[in-house]
Amino acid sequence: MGTGDGAAEQSRLAAERVQRLKRQLDQAERAAKSWDAGAVGERLVADSLSGLIPHGWYLLNDVHWPGRPKANLDHVLVGPGGVVVVDAKNWTGEVRVSAGVLWQGRFARTQSVDGALAQCAAVASVLAPPHRRFVRPLICLAGQPGLFGITNSDVAVVGADRVVGAVLALPPVLDQQTVVGLYAQLGEQLTQESAAESPAVNSLTVKPLTVKSTPLEPPAAGQAGGRSRPRQPAYGTRRGAGSGGSGRARKSKAQHHAASGMTRLMLLAAFVVFAVYVLPYWGR
């Protein structure tokens, strides 16, 4: 092979490397955009859920997923209507529940429904058996005004603008003392630095309360306002043990994610420059 043929082959290989690096760069950018959109949706949903606080509900935000130390739950609510595990989404396009199936455009989001059920089962697994049946899942979508539906598996799907009314419409099943006790228990177990593996998480099947017979619709004016507020446990704030700290944790997580993403992009860019301008002439 002559010198010219060798240089041509090196140029071809360099061009292939450049295309491969560009694809990796595009994938990294899409992943970063998706993560940022999810974080924004979680904050929007958290702001909406804060409207439950005057009605005797407690919020735990961005807490550990029992049995999955590296996974988080977006929001866990504890109040007179039970324990509600909220999975926050920030989907674009048309979102609807049709014939008991959650759709985003023309795609059925059954995996997201299964994920909400798994989160519900994980939270229920750390509670005493009498309280497990009061745990239910809810998918809350930011930027989907007026959305309300219930899937075939009894997972409520609600827009952020309707989530407060939907939760307040749940029939009361817990007294104040039980609400405070469950909030303290979950606040302690779900905000630990590392969640211990629980064999019950994978084997437990939770049957949420049937919501079809008691639709999650906003109650009449003043219906929930007369409830006295439970006394706040000493270990956390009224918004929940995960609220103030989790905000800082999310900010730190976002900063770390942005820094690591920028480092990857800089390395990829340097690699591209090397492949284009140096590699074709290597060994000449």
| Each residue's pLDDT tens digit, 118-141 | 999 999 999 999 999 999 999 999
pLDDT of amino acid 244: 40
Q: How far apart are the first and last CA of the chain?
A: 13
Position 270 scores a pLDDT of 67
Does some domain include residue 266? no
| 248 lies in some domain | no
Question: What integer is the mean pLDDT of 242-268?
Answer: 53
Average pLDDT for residues 57-61, to the nearest whole number? 96
pLDDT winner (highest mean) among 157-166, 230-239, 249-258: 157-166
Per-residue pLDDT of 67-91, as tens digits, reads 998 899 999 999 999 999 999 999 9
In a domain, 260, yes or no: no
The segment with the largest mean pLDDT, out of 15-19, 26-30, 275-279, is: 15-19
What would the mean pLDDT of 22-41 be, rounded to a whole number?
57
29 within some domain: no
Does residue 67 sit within a domain? yes
pLDDT at 218: 44
Quote the pLDDT of residue 44: 84
Residues 5-23, mean pLDDT to the nearest whole number: 74
Structural domain containing residue 195: 41-221+230-242
Report the distance separating Cα 235 and Cα 189, nearest Å. 13
pLDDT at 108: 97
Span 217-240, pLDDT tens digits: 444 433 433 343 443 333 233 333
* Pairwise CA distance, residues 124 & 186, whole Å: 10
Q: CA-CA distance, 132 to 195, in Å (whole number)?
A: 19
Q: How confident is the model at residue 52 (pLDDT cuts 50, 70, 90)?
A: very high
Domain count, the chain: 1
pLDDT at position 161:
93
Residue 190 within a domain:
yes
Give residue 245's pLDDT: 42
Query: Does the structure show a pLDDT above 90 at 94?
Result: yes
| In a domain? residue 140 | yes
Residue 284 lies in a domain: no
Question: What phi and psi, each to the nearest 5 degrees, are found at residue 120?
Answer: -60, -45
Global confidence as pTM: 0.60
Q: Which of 91, 88, 57, 61 is nearest to 76 (CA)?
A: 61
Lowest mean pLDDT among 10-24, 138-152, 159-173, 259-273: 259-273
8 Å CB contact between 167 and 84: yes
Greater model confidence, 243 or 153: 153
161 vs 197: which has the higher pLDDT: 161
Does the structure show a pLDDT above 80 at 195? no
